[in-house]
Structure 1
């Protein structure tokens, strides 16, 4: 590893470049900077660390940046965060209105079923299976309810069935909206719909953006400032990180073999689900990343996260006999890191559970996003090739 001492022989702060790709989220990236500034003091109070998050600033094309200074267990780190943006693409692909979300459901449900995802997750990722089942079950129940109401109206008076049937689609949308406000079934439907669409017909703008991300990764390594460059992908941002890293390796085959460590960090990922949908370009990217052992790979995915592949190996169905230590897993045990009340609250909301990876915990001595992303330790210890 790079020698972490200054010219006077004193140990200096660990230097990290963190390139972070958010998930399938139409919000401005300012929401993620705000999350850092709000959650850092909470985590510091729990862990006893010092975490100072700087102001956000534009950081080139499709990027937002800020710095993070930390002191943990008497050791310092300086992290330059670059959030790589694709929220503009998400907004362009986002299904507008409940009717479009509902109308798209048969396509993604059919794609998941045809790819064997329901069978796989029912056996090995129960939380995800329940999440996949929730939107179609809710919709089926609403349609069935409206059909029963129309039938009852028809039996009472044949003419009454006509206005009831006409009002049924509006009632279904209204009820869906009410349920969605409690369990975020619309959000998970958006994500699953995107995964199915992108596998069947990947738009060129996605490849172009991942090419930009790849070049930013190479530039961060070539800059020479950092001891470690981490490409982090949260949720479906993990898919983009894999694509970008594979592209970077095509442009720079010796990436990660120099004095600067390069590590892929995936959080709350569903990589094997995207691969199962028949996305051959993505499967090829996964194989490229798996084969390049000069690039470290750490994965933090909870077994109970309903919007992830849970305990299914990230390379399931892609590599015949995947290495159990690639990626190196650091599975968060949120039930032991949060108070009982807090954990029960996020269990009722898949979106809240999913974002817990990027938030403070209530209790110390476990998964710590700020130590992982901006702490004084390398994600994976290795010697330069």
Structure 2
């Protein structure tokens, strides 16, 4: 691969440091490296690029690293990926068992309703509205079913209703688990519950981890090896990326004004949803990032992604009149990049649709995760400092 890079005749390879923050995911970050290794050959076959993903390695505290070598359109790039880990925090916060997920639902539904998000998303982010509605509707249907069974049993004899009522919590949990296997309502419930909890009571360990990541971002810039440093956040990792960048800007107000370009990349984000929940520290971080014109910002969020803010502007409700060009929006049109069968399949599974940002497409053109993350072009041109 390095021979191919050196023989392009285009000078040295474009050098990038990619600091990647995954979403609210309790799995080991090895799953993301595996996704790169599995999806890169598929995208290479579609786009005609050369994409080589090297072995993963520990990369300091709470980080996993690997290198990606690419040749695209005759130009080479070397990207050193650092996955910034917060999966240990996610596992500590993860609700264990179906009954805990169900019992937490009234809190986050009330928080979303109190913030006016059901009305907003129904009007402007239909896919997200359906995702917000699905868990409580399923739960309400299961409770209603058990109530009808208890009523029917009670018509036979009042005592017959008692076993139905006693068994209801266990039956509801069992049915929820079966439905969850089909539509992943449990995962989205976990995410919504987390968003509501941290808005009401931000955990100190999250702030400490963001400080550590901010130091890693500054160190990557100061290292001087890269032409650009990209901080990328996927899903709720985008929320973390905003916090990290805001903290880095506090530590280093001139970030992005040196010879190394600095950019933020958010994918499948729900930034304005977190802000609407009254998370004031997050709202302040968003305003700081929006004002930092020396740092580029690209957002790739699909209008049809049910686990994102869809077409809602990332700064909706945060600044009075959001700049339509900040972030620069590159909406993935997955329906044009996937076969009809593939697109129908991910439409039936919110989690599969959501992870499509990090996977290969079936057809060339438009959104290409590997070109964004590891291609030979700068993510975005910087505005004057």
Fold in common (TM above 0.5): yes
Pick closer, same or farther for the CA change 1:10–1:330 going to 2, 3 Å.
closer
Matches within 5 A, 1:199-348: 199-348=199-348
Q: Count residues in correspondence.
A: 378
Equivalent residue number for residue 56 of structure 1: 56
Q: In 2, are the aligned partners of 1:235 and 1:308 still within 8 Å (CA)?
A: yes
Q: Residue 262 of structure 2 aligns to a residue in which SS?
A: strand
Q: Tell me how far 1:383 sits from its aligned partner.
A: 6.8
Q: Tell me how far 1:384 sits from its aligned partner.
A: 6.7
Whole-angstrom CA distance in 2 between matches of 1:221 and 1:121: 38
Equivalent residue number for residue 367 of structure 1: 367
Q: Are 2:98 and 1:104 aligned? A: no
Equivalent residue number for residue 3 of structure 2: none
Q: In 1, are the aligned partners of 2:16 and 2:374 still within 8 Å (CA)?
A: yes
Q: Are 2:109 and 1:119 aligned? A: no
Q: In 2, are the aligned partners of 1:94 and 1:190 still within 8 Å (CA)?
A: yes
Equivalent residue number for residue 380 of structure 1: 380
* TM-score normalised per structure 1: 0.97
Equivalent residue number for residue 74 of structure 2: 74
Whole-angstrom CA distance in 2 between matches of 1:153 and 1:207: 53
Q: Tell me how far 1:165 sits from its aligned partner.
A: 1.0
Equivalent residue number for residue 352 of structure 2: 352
Question: Which residues of structure 1 form unaligned runs of 5+?
Answer: 1-5
Pick closer, same or farther for the CA change 1:118–1:209 going to 2, 3 Å.
same
Whole-angstrom CA distance in 1 between matches of 2:333 and 2:353: 12
Q: Tell me how far 1:366 sits from its aligned partner.
A: 1.2
Q: Tell me how far 1:55 sits from its aligned partner.
A: 0.2
Equivalent residue number for residue 36 of structure 1: 36
Whole-angstrom CA distance in 2 between matches of 1:104 and 1:162: 26
Q: Are 2:138 and 1:166 aligned? A: no
Q: Tell me how far 1:101 sits from its aligned partner.
A: 0.1
Q: Residue 88 of structure 1 aligns to a residue in which SS?
A: helix
Q: Tell me how far 1:161 sits from its aligned partner.
A: 0.7
Whole-angstrom CA distance in 2 between matches of 1:291 and 1:383: 11
Whole-angstrom CA distance in 2 between matches of 1:203 and 1:355: 27
Q: Tell me how far 1:157 sits from its aligned partner.
A: 2.0
Pick closer, same or farther for the CA change 1:201–1:159 going to 2, 3 Å.
same
Q: Residue 15 of structure 1 aligns to a residue in which SS?
A: strand
Q: In 2, are the aligned partners of 1:18 and 1:373 still within 8 Å (CA)?
A: yes
Q: In 2, are the aligned partners of 1:261 and 1:384 still within 8 Å (CA)?
A: no
Q: CA RMSD in A?
A: 1.1
Deviations for 1:178-211, whole angstroms, at most 9, x for unmatched residues?
Answer: 0000000000000000000000000000000000
Q: Tell me how far 1:382 sits from its aligned partner.
A: 3.2
* TM-score normalised per structure 2: 0.97
Deviation >6 Å, runs of 4+: none
Matches within 5 A, 1:2-41: 11-41=11-41
Q: Residue 351 of structure 2 aligns to a residue in which SS?
A: helix
Q: Tell me how far 1:268 sits from its aligned partner.
A: 0.1
Q: In 1, are the aligned partners of 2:293 and 2:382 still within 8 Å (CA)?
A: no
Pick closer, same or farther for the CA change 1:383–1:100 going to 2, 3 Å.
closer
Question: Which residues of structure 2 form unaligned runs of 5+?
Answer: 1-5
Whole-angstrom CA distance in 2 between matches of 1:159 and 1:244: 59
Q: Residue 221 of structure 2 aligns to a residue in which SS?
A: helix
Q: Tell me how far 1:164 sits from its aligned partner.
A: 1.1
Q: Tell me how far 1:381 sits from its aligned partner.
A: 2.0
Q: Tell me how far 1:156 sits from its aligned partner.
A: 1.5
Equivalent residue number for residue 3 of structure 1: none
Q: In 2, are the aligned partners of 1:14 and 1:78 still within 8 Å (CA)?
A: yes
Q: In 1, are the aligned partners of 2:238 and 2:267 still within 8 Å (CA)?
A: yes
Q: In 2, are the aligned partners of 1:35 and 1:359 still within 8 Å (CA)?
A: yes
Deviations for 1:296-331, whole angstroms, at most 9, x for unmatched residues?
Answer: 000000000000000000000001000000000010
Equivalent residue number for residue 185 of structure 1: 185
Whole-angstrom CA distance in 2 between matches of 1:284 and 1:59: 30
Q: In 2, are the aligned partners of 1:14 and 1:227 still within 8 Å (CA)?
A: yes
Q: Residue 335 of structure 1 aligns to a residue in which SS?
A: helix
Equivalent residue number for residue 148 of structure 1: 148
Q: In 1, are the aligned partners of 2:230 and 2:265 still within 8 Å (CA)?
A: yes
Whole-angstrom CA distance in 2 between matches of 1:216 and 1:157: 67
